[in-house]
Amino acid sequence: MTNIDLKRVKKYVFLIFAAVFFCLTIGAWERFYEISLFGINFIWIYFLLAFLLLGLLFFWVSGLEKKRNAGKSCFGLTVLETVHRYRFLMEQLVSRDFKIKYKRSVLGVFWSFLNPLLMMIVQYVVFSHLLGIRGNVDHYAIYLLCGIVMWNGFNDCSTQSMRSITGNASLITKVYVPKYIYPLTKVFSASINILLSMIPLLLVTFVYGLFSEPHLYLSKAILLLPFGLIFMILFCMGMGFFLSSLMVFFHDIEFLWGFVSTLWMYATPIIYSLSMFEDKALWLVKMMQYNPLYHYISFVRTIILEGTSPALSEYGICMLFSAGIFLIGFFMFRKVQDKFILYL
């Protein structure tokens, strides 16, 4: 296995940490300043935690370097060196999947821009003007577009990653490659579409906000948008591990997932608001707290529609859902991956 330059890893760790720290500090300063814990303003606790985290990250990388020099191995070092060794293959798989999606299409990648916009227009006309279920939601068009972009991203990631093992059966049975690379690359390629869909969302928000009443402006909280996307993409990775594992043993999962995803979509407030059910079905409002997609979509809507950072608890909830599903999916995938070859 090729050796990775851990000194370069330290540089990347510092750069990523600096970017996260900058976005979080600028975008959520007002929200953090409002919070007090044990009589201490949260800002001071935030800075203390940030420096402690940076120290732990550098300590972790230094520990990996010492173990490698001593000829020892560990899980973290194995993962880093595996990614380093197969990075070219991962780049090619992501590029291939992205190009295949728009192969022979006249508009090509522009469908990533047009698809959420066309869906938003249709749903806006149907649900706002024909059925009148927009409720008391301000800026309903942007409210819809946020939900559509996030849901389409999740559905695309989960559907593509579900077929990642069975779709690469000929390669898996001939060449050894860590199998978890396949669902990851599917999620990465689908994530490109999510990023592209964010461009028309921000552009429409800017233009729509100038002519709406009340006006809607993009604030510095927009720097927090990547956090919502990262939380959802991490969740999609976990779902990808889980669904791709099931798909190998039970091919009917593809049809079952079509039903489950449709049910999940209508159970998520994309076209409606929970405020419509506060007096009629309070149990539904409470149950929605266990819906990860509700929290990811609300995270993005708070940033764009309210121009402020989500509550601190929302960061914790989103992180808990993402990390929990990722670990469950990963360890399930790792436990059964050796049996894939018997069913492909």
The larger pLDDT score, comparing residue 275 to residue 48, is at 48
Contact 180, 79 (CB under 8 A): no
List CB contacts of 87: < 8 A, sequence separation 6 or more.
Answer: none
pLDDT at 242: 94
Render 128-143 in DSSP notation, one character per residue. IIIS---TT-SSHHHH
- Taking all residues of the chain, what is their mean pLDDT, rounded to a whole number? 85
Per-residue pLDDT tens digits for 35-71: 877 777 788 888 899 999 988 988 888 888 888 887 7
How much is the pTM? Answer: 0.90
Q: Which range (97-101, 180-184, 239-243, 270-274) has the least confidence?
A: 97-101
pLDDT value at residue 107: 63
Q: Give 257-274 pLDDT, tens digit per residue.
A: 999 999 999 889 888 888
Per residue in 104-142, pLDDT (tens digit) is 665 666 666 777 777 777 777 777 666 666 667 788 888
Task: Please say whether the beta carbons of 299 and 228 come within 8 A.
Answer: yes
Residue 290 has pLDDT above 70, yes or no: yes
Tokens of 229: 């996307």
Whether the CB-CB separation of 101 and 190 falls below 8 Å is answered with no
**Residue 177 region by backbone torsions, left for phi larger than 0, else alpha for psi between -120 and 50, else beta:** beta
Q: What CA–CA distance (Å, rounded) separates 308 from 299?
A: 10
C-alpha–C-alpha distance, residues 265 and 267, integer Å: 5
- Give the pLDDT band (50/70/90) at residue 1: very low
**Which residues does 14 contact at the CB level (< 8 Å), separation at least 6?**
54, 58
d(CA 152, CA 145): 10
- In this predicted structure, the answer to whether residue 239 has a pLDDT above a threshold of 90 is yes
Rounded distance between C-alpha atoms, residue 282 and residue 210, angstroms = 36
Is residue 40 helix, strand or coil?
strand
- Side chain identity at residue 110, one-letter code: F
Cα 247 from Cα 250, distance rounded (Å):
5
Mean pLDDT, residues 286-309 taken together: 91
